[in-house]
Amino acid sequence: MKKYKICVIEGDGVGKEVIPETVRVLKNLGDFQFIKEYAGYECFKKYGDAIPSKTVETAKECDAILFGAVTTPKPHELEGKVYRSPILTLRRELDLYANIRPISNFRDIDFVIIRENTEGLYVGREYYNPCTEEAVAERVISKKGCYRVVKFAFEYALKHHRKKVTCVHKANVLRVTDGLFLKIFYQVSEEYKEYNIEVNDYLVDTTAMYIVKNPKIFDVIVTTNLFGDILSDEASGLIGGLGLAPSANIGDRYGLFEPVHGSAPDIAGKGIANPLATILSGAMMLYYLGMKKESKILRMAVKSVVEKGYTTPDLGGNLKTREVTDKVIEEVKKYSEVLL
């Protein structure tokens, strides 16, 4: 078996707790070389840069990146210094244009949100016009960006035996930007007609309602950057919260895997952070690396742990972060004896 090089970025807050626990789990499933690098607010305070060039260089040299969570400082805390968002920087530098966020409670809710990951309002083109007293943010939607993320969504549906792809937009108001996204969605869908994948589209506000009222109607959702960010956080409420929400950032050459949750400074250092979102992100990383059996084992292990109630307080349990990880490793070893 190949020895994979993994760039490990713990970040801030609970990232420093859940990433090492995930590394501990992964060591039971393969032969990895973990290379630690730094990014985040603590890194910024220490080195004057939230994501040093060495971190980006190492990320590019590795087979995958495992990313924790970072704290975003408030403007007054920066004292006029420039702060680069580590995750947005990595998404741009590595061209990680597709963000995959599975929504699953291991029972009756099972759909995936795929969002465009490099454009939209997150391009950071903002300015203030003192003459008109207007703050303006540019929303960038390109033909190339639309095409590749929509195609990614259809390929994902094929690979994972999904039956439907839904485009989420606001083209009734954002006629030019979302109008382009919707138009290209239906153009790309023609390329997949032979596979009998059902296609439809919903307005983003309607989608938000249906996620709450009837989430089973969704299979694969593809949408723009901001909409996908908000909807996936909303959807995580269906499965117990962000503590069970993993994600992957995928491009043509690189893959970065991270929990959806933030650095949670209110619970950092207390040993109660839920490691399962990060561990599930690790399972997505294993699949990306071609370790499909190991990925399945890890998902089965997490499912078993949740069903048995071996969880941290956010999911109603009373275990510590490390204790939950211990339970996951026990299940991993059990399933590995059968499947590996």
Each residue's pLDDT tens digit, 286-295: 999 999 999 9
Each residue's pLDDT tens digit, 3-41: 999 999 999 999 999 999 999 999 999 999 999 999 999
Give the pLDDT band of residue 79 (cuts 50, 70, 90).
confident
What is the rounded CA–CA span in Å between residue 94 and residue 89?
8
Rounded to an integer, the average pLDDT of 205-234 is 98
Give the pLDDT band of residue 60 (cuts 50, 70, 90).
very high
Burial class (CB in 10 A: 0-12, 13-18, 19+), 324: buried
What's residue 226's pLDDT?
A: 98
Residue whose C-alpha is closest to residue 136's, from 127, 145, 124, 144: 127
Each residue's pLDDT tens digit, 117-136: 999 999 989 999 999 999 99
What is the rounded CA–CA span in Å between residue 152 and residue 146?
10
Q: Could you tell me the end-to-end alpha-carbon distance of the chain, in angstroms, rounded to an integer?
A: 13
User: With 90 as the cut, is the pLDDT of residue 75 above it?
Assistant: no
What's residue 167's pLDDT?
A: 98
Which three-class secondary structure state does DSSP give residue 269? coil
The pTM score is 0.96
Rounded to an integer, the average pLDDT of 64-84 is 91
Q: What is the DSSP secondary structure assignment for residue 127, as one 8-state letter?
A: E
Q: Report how far apart, in Å, the C-alpha atoms of 329 and of each of 28, 296, 333, 338 are.
A: 7, 14, 6, 15
Each residue's pLDDT tens digit, 300-324: 999 999 999 999 999 999 999 999 9
Token reading at 60: 């590019």
Strands across the sheet containing 198-203: 32-37, 4-11, 64-69, 255-259, 246-250, 98-104, 110-116, 220-223, 164-169, 198-203
- With contact defined as beta carbons under 8 Å apart, do 322 and 270 qualify? no
Rounded to an integer, the average pLDDT of 58-87 is 93
User: With 80 as the cut, is the pLDDT of residue 224 above it?
Assistant: yes
Which domains does the chain carry? 1-102+241-340 (3.40.718.10), 106-239 (3.40.718.10)
What is the rounded CA–CA span in Å between residue 171 and residue 314?
37
Each residue's pLDDT tens digit, 172-184: 999 999 999 999 9
Give the pLDDT band of residue 163 (cuts 50, 70, 90).
very high
H or E element, residue 6: strand 4-11
User: With 90 as the cut, is the pLDDT of residue 80 above it?
Assistant: no
Each residue's pLDDT tens digit, 34-58: 999 999 999 999 999 999 999 999 9
Average pLDDT, the chain: 97
User: With 80 as the cut, is the pLDDT of residue 253 above it?
Assistant: yes
